[in-house]
Amino acid sequence: MDNQKRIVRLDNRGLAPPEPMMRILETIEDFDRDTILVANMDREPIFLFAELHDRGFAYSCDPEIGGGYLLKVYRE
């Protein structure tokens, strides 16, 4: 059995809210457990976290050296 994860990358830097959140929610709509979203963000997407939880997703959001955040989203 192959345990490889498919990684989908989004660069949301330079976008005004709520566009980054809308792009993420649209992208992850059909994700399965083998797909991970990795998104570069200008700011911590605090309003997105409850939406992800309600839709059955887990996430991590870590500050990046030099500014911004790296968000990872995956099915629980």
Short-list 66, 62, 14, 22, CA closest to 38:
62
1 located within any domain: no
Whole-angstrom Cα distance, residue 11 to residue 38? 9
Domain of 27, CATH number, reads 3.30.110.40
Predicted local distance difference test score (pLDDT) of residue 27: 97
31 located within any domain: yes
Per-residue pLDDT at 76 exceeds 90:
no
What digits encode the pLDDT tens for the residues 30-60? 999 999 999 999 999 999 999 999 999 999 9
46 located within any domain: yes
34 located within any domain: yes
State the residue range of the domain holding 66.
6-75
Q: Please provide the average confidence, as pLDDT, over all residues in the chain.
A: 95
What digits encode the pLDDT tens for the residues 7-34? 999 999 999 999 999 999 999 999 999 9
Number of domains the chain is built from: 1
Tokens of 59: 């996430």
